Structure 1
Amino acid sequence: MSEKNNKDYIQEKLKEKHFEAKIVRRIVFTVFVLLMLALTGIIGGGYFYIKNALQPVNEEDTKTEKVEIPIGSSPTSIGRILEENGIINNGKVFRYYVKFKNESGFMAGEYELSPSMNLDEIIGFLKEGKVQQEVLFQITIPEGRQLEQIAVILENRMGLSEKEFLEKANDKDFLEKMREKYPKVITDEMFDEDVKYALEGYLFPATYPFYVENPTAEEVIDIMLQKTDEILQYDEVRIGMGNMDLTPHELLTMASLIEAEATVQTDRDYISSVFYNRLDVGMPLQTDPTVLYALGEHKERTLYEHLEVDSPYNTYKNQGLPPGPIANAGLTSIQAALKPAETEYYYFLATPDGEVLFNETLEEHNIDKNEHITSQDNG
């Protein structure tokens, strides 16, 4: 092949490659454009879908509808009820919107709602309890009460049988039903064989309004578990559990010990620090309320003979946390369990006048005990 023909051949090949590259670029560009258009369509469609779901059903329709929100309804069930009654466009979007805005504390009752209302207005009504029917009565469950004490309160205040309440609180089938509704509250730890009452410490202390004359034990427990679930969803609690590496069961157990030992608000984070310091070095927690819980009776003083009770709840004989909570803890005790004070204290002592003394050493603790407590008492 002559030199001229060789050059022509090479130029021809280069032209072919250039043409092929141009075709490939066009194909890639076309595919890219089509993908972008498809993606834009998906995003745009999703945007308009969500935007439509967030809008009122009909801004012109101000006629109200009676909507019944049962006791213990979750955001999912509330969204479904509102959609079925034509108050909102989409129940699922309502649930995600509530979760995104971290809204909670919805109240049961019969509401007058309109399709012209937006989601924020509806949420406001549900949180403020702007219901058509009035509250028939309220029950206050104080902090630090045990399940058996709560049963007595309910029987005295609303006529709910103490026996019926405790039976329902220990009904495995019912608790499994509640697990489906409150999976972050009802966990396997509650069903450990050493746990005395699965729901001990899980019925949050608060004032509960009731809109029906004779609520069942199931309805009462449901609304209390809903409140506990709400508390556990608080950002400070949820994030705090992660930081402290605590399960809800462990958190409520620790908080119940703090609640049982605290005499004033300011002591709780210091008492919490003592418990965590003991856990860190493998010391038994040695807290008297767990002994009384193991004995199953109230006593004015805990004596040395009581410390011998054979029970997994006896923190004088067993290291670590007891199998479960020993009472219901309020929010301040839960906060203290999540944010203990930074101390070197390993001992504390409640004096007869209500003061709590903290010490770093057993020697200092014994000096305070001899000064403030008789020989029959324990610190």
Structure 2
Amino acid sequence: MSNSEHDSKPEVKETNEKETDLKNEAVETDSTRSDFKKAYNKSFIQRCREASVVRKVVFILITIFIAVLFFGGRSAYRYVMDGLAPADPNNTEMVNIEIPLGSSSSTITSMLEDEGIISNGRLYRLYMRVNNVSGFQAGEYQLSPSMTLDEISEILQSGSIMQDALFTVTIPEGRNIEEIAGLYETHANIDAEEFIEAMLDETYIQELIDLYPNLLGDEILQDDVRYPLEGYLFAATYPFYEQNPSIDTVVRSMLDKTEDVLLDYYSVINERKDFSVHEVLTFASLVEREARNEDERKLIAGVFYNRLEEGMRLETDPTVLYALGEHRGRVLFADLEIESPYNTYHVFGLPIGPISNFGESSLNAVLEPTETNYLFFVAAPDGEIYFSENFDEHRRLANEHLDRDL
């Protein structure tokens, strides 16, 4: 019996030690779990705080964006509505306005704005285009700041002075600034050198950019552009009602005509997004100088598009002549090497600006070209144009019709 009791004591002691160890391990585990839980809770709280900050920042940014849209849209709306509303609804005082013969629409709107008859000349010109208002007559008018744009337009279209033009000047398609200056010197008593000086007057050009913001952009003032208004003076017949019209009168009349023509095309150009207005007019001037009829223009435009897509130079001879600044009937092989931003044998893509004015059919050709597989064409001295899909055929045609050893 005593031996049995003696033997059981170590077992009890050993069991107690194991229980103690287990309790200690449990305490340590609970402590670890508590530490982990505290760390997790701390991290969770930190993430929540960060998420809350992010949400607040996003909310603030969205609120600011919505506010900008709201107030910006509201300001734009007010700007337009104020510009289209009577300049002063409460002022019924009549103002004498004299519209001289041959005044351009831009001149008339500037005059009305200066006299306080309209509040925004630029918006009135936009109103005129959208509503197809034209045909203002020279004469003396009595207008009031309280009149609506409809009333003003109706009065200006009913002028009492109807006089035949003293003379007209026809500017053909495909003419450059220097040729246009010569035509006005011959037919309109305008000194060609003074006309050229005005075309190089950056202050004057900037005034025109401000006056025609949809048509003229800062691209025309690039350093290498020869004449900022090259290509922008539309080919048409212009009537003149005074013996010695000013250069500004002539230029504004031509820019008015260009903008009138482009009015139907602005939306198309803006939707395309591949070319700016300046680039479209540049493109149109190349087509104008290369083709004789509408079918040729559309086909040549298609060739130019194909070459642009293939990363090829356009390599059109009229750009070489413009780069040379000379009038020649023929381009020599050595001429192709001239380094100029206008020479399409030297630069990729379009030249830096137009090389002449253009006709509406050339503009149409650029915007609606003929789809073709041609990559080359040769404009022969006999007036014929020969198209080809590969360089070997093009080389044969060029050597045959242009006497070039390609």
For the superposition of Structure 1 and Structure 2, which TM-score range results when normalised by the shorter chain?
0.7 to 0.9
- TM-fit CA distance, 1:307: 0.8
- TM-fit CA distance, 1:285: 0.6
Equivalent residue in structure 1 for 2:99, among 65, 68, 73: 68
Residue identity opposite 1:249 in structure 2: H
* Distance in 2, Cα, partners of 1:97 & 1:151: 30
Q: 1:247 to 1:131 in 2, by over 3 A?
A: farther
- TM-fit CA distance, 1:364: 2.4
- TM-fit CA distance, 1:142: 0.7
> Does structure 1 residue 258 correspond to structure 2 residue 287?
yes
Choose 177-186 or 282-291, whichever is displaced more.
177-186
Residue identity opposite 1:375 in structure 2: D
SS in 2 for 1:73: helix
- TM-fit CA distance, 1:211: 2.0
- Which residue of structure 2 lines up, in the alignment, with residue 161 of structure 1? 191
Q: 1:341 to 1:374 in 2, by over 3 A?
A: closer
The 8 Å contact of residues 269 and 277 in structure 2, kept in 1 or not, is answered as no
The 8 Å contact of residues 381 and 402 in structure 2, kept in 1 or not, is answered as no
Q: 1:192 to 1:105 in 2, by over 3 A?
A: farther
* Distance in 2, Cα, partners of 1:359 & 1:127: 53
The 8 Å contact of residues 139 and 159 in structure 2, kept in 1 or not, is answered as no
- Which residue of structure 1 lines up, in the alignment, with residue 10 of structure 2? none
- Which residue of structure 1 lines up, in the alignment, with residue 224 of structure 2? 194
Residues 189-228 of structure 1 mapped to structure 2, 5 A cutoff: 189-228=219-258
Tell me how many residue pairs correspond in the alignment. 320
The Cα offsets for residues 199-244 of structure 1, whole Å up to 9 and x where unpaired, read as 1111111111122221111221122122222222x23343234325
Residue identity opposite 2:323 in structure 1: A
The 8 Å contact of residues 136 and 210 in structure 1, kept in 2 or not, is answered as yes
Point out the structure with max Rg over C-alpha. 2
* Distance in 2, Cα, partners of 1:216 & 1:360: 50
- Which residue of structure 1 lines up, in the alignment, with residue 336 of structure 2? 307
Residues 245-324 of structure 1 mapped to structure 2, 5 A cutoff: 245-324=274-353
- TM-fit CA distance, 1:68: 1.0
Residues 36-51 of structure 1 mapped to structure 2, 5 A cutoff: none
* Distance in 1, Cα, partners of 2:159 & 2:258: 18
The 8 Å contact of residues 137 and 158 in structure 2, kept in 1 or not, is answered as no
* Distance in 1, Cα, partners of 2:266 & 2:296: 20
Equivalent residue in structure 2 for 1:343, among 372, 382, 403: 372
Q: 1:329 to 1:174 in 2, by over 3 A?
A: same
* Distance in 1, Cα, partners of 2:395 & 2:157: 51
* Distance in 2, Cα, partners of 1:230 & 1:103: 10
Residue identity opposite 1:182 in structure 2: Y
- TM-fit CA distance, 1:356: 1.9
The 8 Å contact of residues 283 and 350 in structure 2, kept in 1 or not, is answered as yes
- TM-fit CA distance, 1:103: 1.8
The 8 Å contact of residues 230 and 357 in structure 2, kept in 1 or not, is answered as yes
- Which residue of structure 2 lines up, in the alignment, with residue 358 of structure 1? 387
Q: 1:107 to 1:300 in 2, by over 3 A?
A: farther
Q: 1:100 to 1:198 in 2, by over 3 A?
A: closer
The Cα offsets for residues 277-313 of structure 1, whole Å up to 9 and x where unpaired, read as 1111110010000000011111111111111112221
The 8 Å contact of residues 303 and 377 in structure 1, kept in 2 or not, is answered as no
Residue identity opposite 1:330 in structure 2: G
Residue identity opposite 1:320 in structure 2: G
SS in 1 for 2:265: helix
Residues 46-61 of structure 1 mapped to structure 2, 5 A cutoff: none
The Cα offsets for residues 55-97 of structure 1, whole Å up to 9 and x where unpaired, read as xx99xxxxxx87416334268547648974xxxxx66699388
Query: TM-score, length-normalised on structure 2?
Result: 0.68
The 8 Å contact of residues 106 and 129 in structure 1, kept in 2 or not, is answered as no
Residue identity opposite 1:260 in structure 2: R
Choose 355-364 or 247-256, whichever is displaced more.
355-364
Query: TM-score, length-normalised on structure 1?
Result: 0.72
* Distance in 1, Cα, partners of 2:372 & 2:223: 35
- TM-fit CA distance, 1:119: 6.7
- Which residue of structure 1 lines up, in the alignment, with residue 166 of structure 2? 136
Q: 1:123 to 1:266 in 2, by over 3 A?
A: farther
The 8 Å contact of residues 110 and 133 in structure 1, kept in 2 or not, is answered as no
Q: 1:192 to 1:305 in 2, by over 3 A?
A: same
Q: 1:364 to 1:79 in 2, by over 3 A?
A: same
Instruction: Name the Cα RMSD after superposition.
Output: 3.7
Q: 1:51 to 1:123 in 2, by over 3 A?
A: closer
- Which residue of structure 1 lines up, in the alignment, with residue 201 of structure 2? 171
- TM-fit CA distance, 1:112: 6.5
* Distance in 2, Cα, partners of 1:366 & 1:163: 42
Q: Where has structure 1 moved over 4 Å in runs of 4 or more?
A: 50-53, 78-83, 90-94, 104-108, 111-115, 117-131
> Does structure 1 residue 327 correspond to structure 2 residue 360?
no
- Which residue of structure 1 lines up, in the alignment, with residue 41 of structure 2? none
* Distance in 2, Cα, partners of 1:198 & 1:126: 33
- TM-fit CA distance, 1:123: 4.8
